[in-house]
Amino acid sequence: MPPPPAGAQDQAIEIHGSSLPLRIDEPAATRVDRLIWRGGIAMAASSRNFGGWSALHVSADSRSLTSVSDGGARLTATIDYDAKGNLAGLSNARIGQLRGLAGKPISSKAEADAEAMARLPDGSWLVAFERRHRLWRYPTLTATPAPVEGPAEIGRQPANGGVEALTALADGRVIAISEDYGQRPGTVMGWIGQPVAGGAYLWRSFDYATVPDFHPTAITILPDGSFATVERAFDVVRGVRCRVMRFDAAQLKPGATVRAEELARLASPYAVDNLEGMAATKGARGETLLWLISDDNFNRLQRNILLLFELAP
């Protein structure tokens, strides 16, 4: 169960990160399919509110990260690297609670279930919540939000299967994909939001093709203009499995069906957990870096992990 909400004011916390190998049975492994291992950490922290991380943004210089949780918390931290430029840990971390429309910290689980976020071109943040499906725009994540009218279908989504994949383009368009809602077999619904006057969006839908058991939980735009997604599956026998996917921007059109290609599949014995957040940046050599963060659901059987990969040419 999530703890009581964090405070409205950010509090400094210490994050303890223990290094993860790519494969627990082969510690020297450095590659899975199209992804090259650049480090991973299992995270614990000096705060009851640390956990449930469901979305991820990494700054363009790869020096800091921002996340929101399904308990309504927000997190910022500095990213630390080892001598080889691989992920080593997090420092200078701060945690606080997102505010509601009245300016007070969100307190109930039904209101606080933040599942996705996008950094808009003006520096503000669009956050998608589920259970009570909605979109709120935050000038900063410490500020009071304003509601944004979502797609017409947003309220039809399952309570625990709403928008989990959300990203913004440089031209202001917003891409959102539902975890569980679809109108055609073998697909879930996505939307392209075109900015219009008054901070609103004109929403047009597309379909995102899925395979049995796997559902999209994150999306990010890659440096070359294409898109990457994470798809997650879970059952008690096989545990968590995740597919890291890619598709060209040309596929993303109203009324079209996006069919992403698999870059890598993460399942035991590879490092994996309930991956729900994703970001992409350029590394020091110009390489494409993919970042993944997990939601532990405040469950002792799960972990908060942060993974870093390099996309192979």
- The three-class DSSP label of residue 111 is helix
Order across the sheet with 114-119: list the strands.
Answer: 114-119, 125-129, 134-138, 146-148
Q: CA 44 to CA 194: how far, in whole Å?
A: 39
Contacts of residue 313, Cβ cutoff 8 Å, sequence gap at least 6: none
Answer for the pair 77, 96: CB distance below 8 angstroms, yes or no.
no
Over residues 185-240, the pLDDT tens digits come to 999 999 999 999 989 999 999 999 999 999 999 999 999 999 999 999 999 889 99
- CATH assignment, 11-311: 2.120.10
Q: Is the pLDDT of residue 4 over 70?
A: no
Strands (E), 158-271: 163-168, 174-178, 187-195, 201-209, 215-221, 227-235, 239-247, 257-258, 261-267
Residues 6+ apart with CB under 8 A from 68: 53, 54, 55, 74, 75, 98, 114, 117, 127, 141
- Distance of alpha carbon 233 from alpha carbon 245, whole angstroms: 14
> C-alpha angle with apex 239: 232 to 291, nearest 5 degrees?
45
Q: To which residue do tokens 């796997």 refer? A: 214
Domain boundaries, the chain: 11-311
- How do residues 49-90 score in pLDDT, each as one tens digit? 999 999 999 999 999 999 999 999 999 999 999 999 999 999
* Helix (H) or strand (E) run with residue 112 in it: helix 109-112
Per-residue pLDDT band at 8 (split at 50, 70, 90): low
Q: Which helix (H) or strand (E) holds 15?
A: strand 15-19
